[in-house]
Each structure stands twice: as C-alpha cells, then as structure tokens.
Structure 1
Amino acid sequence: MTAKYRLLALDMDGTLLNDEQLITPETAKWIQKAKNAGVYVCLSTGRAFRSALPYAEQLGLLTPMVTVNGSEVWRAPNQLYRRSLMDPQLVTKMHEMAIEYGIWFWAYSLNEVHKQDNWDGDVKNREWLKFGYSTEDNDIRHKVLMRLQDMGGLEVTNSSPYNLEINPLGVNKASGIKSVCKLLGINMSQVVAVGDSLNDLAVIQKAGLGVAMGNAQKTVKQEADVVVASNNEDGIAEVIQKYILSDAKISGDSVTVR
C-alpha cells in the first residue's frame, strides 16, 4: 500500500534538534526509516540556508528545503527555487524601532546576519530576507508587535515566546511547503508538519497532519491535530512511528522533482 503521508516537514530548533542543538541517534534512525519507506523529509526552518545545511547533510537529505521561515525555498541543497525579499524601507523602520526601544535585533541579508555589533546602516545596497527582535519585556514586545501590524506588508511570527520574526507578508512556512509540494508533485493533504513555535503555525494548520512538540507554545498545541513528546524526548521519532510508518508495508514509490 502507498503511504498516506509522503512528506515530513520538520522545524529545526525546538523540534528536530534537542536543546543541545543536536539530532539524537534515535531521531536520526527513524528519519532514515522514513526515507527508506519513500517518505520525503524536508527541513522547514527559520534559520538561514548556511545554518541549516549541515543538518541536512548529516541526515543525507537531497530533498527540497524551506529556510528563513519561507523566504527561501530550495529545489535541492544549493539549488535555489525561489526567494522573497523584504522592502529595504521597512527594514530601516524596523531597525529604528529596535534602537528606540533599546532591544536586541537581528536581520538576515543574503550573505550575513546583521546585529548591533556589525550594523553599518547600508540597507539599500543589500537584499533582505528577515528581521527579528528579542526581549523578555512583555510590554515592550507587545508595543513593537502593535507597531509592526500598523506598518502593514509584514508577516509576524516568533521562534520563541520572547522574540518576534518578520518576513514579507504572505511568506511563511506554509507558503514554502506548498512550493515544495509543487516540486514533488504531491499536495498538502500528504504532508505531516511538525513544530513548536508560531512560525510553524501556518503550516501546521494547513498540512494533512499538523503536529506540535511537547515543548511547543500553547497556541501551537491548541491548533495542532496531535501533540507528541518534546524535542528532548525524541518527539520526531514518535511522529514517524505512530503516524507515518504505522502501516505494515509502505511502498517506496519514487516521486520526481519537477
């Protein structure tokens, strides 16, 4: 029989990786089992490509990949399929807001991560993918969120309860995984999407099976179809065992990347 689910879309931090930023041997073993059964495994992360690639290589993944919360979709490692850039004027405004509130910020351009210590103010001559803030001050974080929403043209999520991550409007992991499905010739009903933070919410809501990790934020757990063990307890291995490889036999039908 053919697998009900053909694509496993994995967030990285707080999901695939444990708190030591490692893929455990147990999780790696079950990912290999899924691959051997003909299931595609796709990293779907807020990280930049160069930060995600070593983990894809560790797992032997040659499949498409979603990086920077969907701002980049890769046909295969090192083969870019599409890229969505931020308006430099919005980047300037977001930087000014970070300075105004005195909070930590970071911004991804194509070639590097810009923070307080290497911000040179040259916004116009770079291509920008994502902006982020981090503060444990709930009041300031809420004020920043309200102002970002007023600016318009932005997709605002988070990768932890203490940060905000900003992409161009309509760019998120769901849009990224939809592109991956197009490349693989499958549809969203055949996707299992797993994550722990608000930047995973859109794809968890639209996948055939949306899975929240045991360490996920409350909203993510509420919106997911199922909740599994935490990232420190091999939750990904549980997903694969219970929901992907639960059939006795799964064919390894090949799907061509178009």
Structure 2
Amino acid sequence: MNRYDLIAFDMDGTLLDSNHQITQDSLDAIDAAVNAGKTVILSTGRSLSELKDYRQMLKHVRYFICESGALLVDTNTDQIIHSEQIEPSAVREIIDTASPEKAMIYIASNGQNLATRSYVMRMADFCIGQYQDIFLQTGTLLDDVVASYNKKHFPVEKLNLFSATPELREYFVQALSHLPLEMARAEDTSLELSPKNVSKGSGLLKLCQYLSIPVEHTIAVGDSDNDMEILKTAGLSVAMGNARPHIKELSDVVVADNDHGGCAEAIYEYLLNE
C-alpha cells in the first residue's frame, strides 16, 4: 500500500509553467489524486489574493498554505485556519532599512498583497517584471504602502523586499539578520521575510495536525529556496527538473521540469504508485 496521503505543490516554478499557467496534465493528475482519496494542497509564497485566478481550475485543492507558511486557508469556506504575523517593531525596522535604498516593499496582510503603485509600474527595475501583470490584477495598489502602514499598523504576515541588485539583497540580509525573522532568497534579487520559525515546513506541520495526517505520509514538491523547509519536513521531498542545484541535492528524488510534466510525474510515480 502507498504510504503517502498528501502532496504539497509550490506554485511558481513548480505547478506553474514558464508562462505562469497550470498545464492540463497537471490538472488531470490532481483530479486523479483527489478521486483516489488523496489530499492535494498548495504551498506557496503568494498571498491568497494572488491565487484568485487559479482557484476555479484548482477547485479540488481545498487547502492552501500561503505566504510561505504564515497563512493557512480552507478555500471551501474561505476560513483562515491559522495565521502568523511579523512583530510590529520588526516591520518598522525593515521599512526604515529598505526605504532609503529605494527597494520595492511588498506586504501581505490578511491574505491581501499591498504595494506602492509607482513601484509596481516599474517592477522590471527590481528583476521581477514577469510578475507585474499579477500585481496589477490581484494587488491592492496604494499611493504609498509605508505611509499606509504608518497610519494604521495592520497585521503583516509576510514582507518582501525587491531589490535592484543581488548586492543590495545581501545588504538587507546582513542588516536585518538580528531581527526575529525567517529569510529566504527568491528570484535573482528578492528577499522574503516571514515571522521567526515560520516557513512552508511549519505550515505543513500545522495543516497536517489540523487534518490528522502524519507528516511522514506527505510529499512536498518545489524548486527554490523558500521550499527548503517543507522539503526537509515532508516524508518525501521532490525537486523539479528546473530546481536550483542545491534544492535537487537535498531532495529525495528529481522529476521533470515545470514545462514537461514534472508535477504529474510526482503524482503518478510517488503519490498514486501502489
């Protein structure tokens, strides 16, 4: 009997192909898994609002681990199962450090992504131009996200700093290393900041507890640094063929890339293979 009951997919670079689409073979494999009584979930750095365009096609994927583990959502009821926030004093220091460097500040709050409109309009300057359409379609664009936070200290589950260069990102890593944060390098110049001890791995543990599924009966699939903790936590770790070399090295197995059926392979070969 197959020992795995749940599979968790990262989105960007994993379930999404190079055109930011979910391929039909992945959708068919997800349906096959659900029909076999397995649980398929998302594990993503994205906020809930950034996933709205995919929710209909992923209607059989009930549970989302969003914002790198800071927000767990039951999409059938839109209930927040669990959330974590960065301490307000840490948010203040992050903002004070990043603002003089003209980095783009992105805040996830209550499942919504917030950013300054003028920065979103020039996301290519921060090496993330490929995500501009997503931000324009799903984000809450403010005149000044820092001013909005200063006016009303809303909860911050996750904060991303988008830098113009890798060197600036490394400066932020060093300057903020004393704060109670988890840091993950993403893309070429981005830095994802989450509450201390919060990761996709901690999100998986909390969701498994909620669903009464032993974590050793789970599979995690990913490609990048923010997938490291969930890959270490799951019973089986699966790296995409397009994953960074060190992600492949720490994973148990490697499947095809995100343009050539890697996610379907993970389901058929490891979740459903009796």
TM-score (structure 1 length as normaliser): 0.89
Work out whether residues 103 and 164 of structure 2, in 8 Å CA contact, stay in contact via their aligned partners in 1: no
Moved more, 55-64 or 203-212: 55-64
Matches of 2:261 and 2:61, distance apart in 1: 23
Partner residue in 1 for 2:114: 113
- Paired position in structure 2 for 1:251: none
Tell me how far 1:240 sits from its aligned partner: 1.1
Aligned to 1:178: 205
Q: Distance in 2 between matches of 1:95 and 1:64?
A: 31
Q: How does 1:214-229 map to 2 (within 5 A)?
A: 214-229=241-256
| Distance in 2 of aligned mates of 1:32 and 1:185 | 22
The answer for the alignment partner of 2:174 in structure 1 is 146
Rounded to whole Å, the distance in 1 between the matches of 2:243 and 2:190 is: 15
| 2:41/2:61 contact within 8 Å kept | no
Q: CA deviation at 1:94?
A: 1.3
Q: Point out 4+ residue stretches in structure 1 off by more than 4 angstroms.
A: none
Question: Number of residue pairs matched?
Answer: 245
- Conserved? CA contact 2:73–2:82, under 8 Å: yes
Q: Give the whole-Å Cα distance in 2 for the aligned partners of 1:173 and 1:66.
A: 7
* TM-score, structure 2 as length reference: 0.84
**One-letter identity of the residue aligned with 1:36:** N
Residue identity matched to 1:32: D
Q: For residue 108 of structure 2, give the secondary structure of its aligned residue in structure 1.
A: strand
**Structure 1 residue ranges without an equivalent (≥5):** 248-258
Report what 1:252 is aligned to: none
Partner in structure 1 of residue 50 of structure 2: 51
Task: State the alpha-carbon separation in 2 of the partners of residues 130 and 38 from structure 1.
Answer: 33
Shift of 1:199: 1.1
Cα deviation digits, residues 58-88 of structure 1 (max 9, x gap): 1222532211111111244401111111122
Q: Of residues 201, 215, 238 in structure 1, which corresponds to 2:265?
A: 238
Residue 66 of structure 1 aligns with an amino acid whose one-letter code is I
Q: Residues of 1 paired with 2:105 and 2:217: CA distance?
A: 37
Local SS of the residue matching 1:149: coil
Aligned-residue sequence identity (percent) comes to 31
- Give the Å deviation of 1:136: 5.0
Which structure: greater helix fraction? Answer: 2
The equivalent residue for 1:250 is none
Task: Say yes or no: does 1:125 pair with 2:156.
Answer: no
Instruction: Tell whether the 8 Å contact from 2:183 to 2:191 is kept in structure 1 after alignment.
Output: yes
Alpha-carbon shift at residue 154 of structure 1 (Å): 0.2
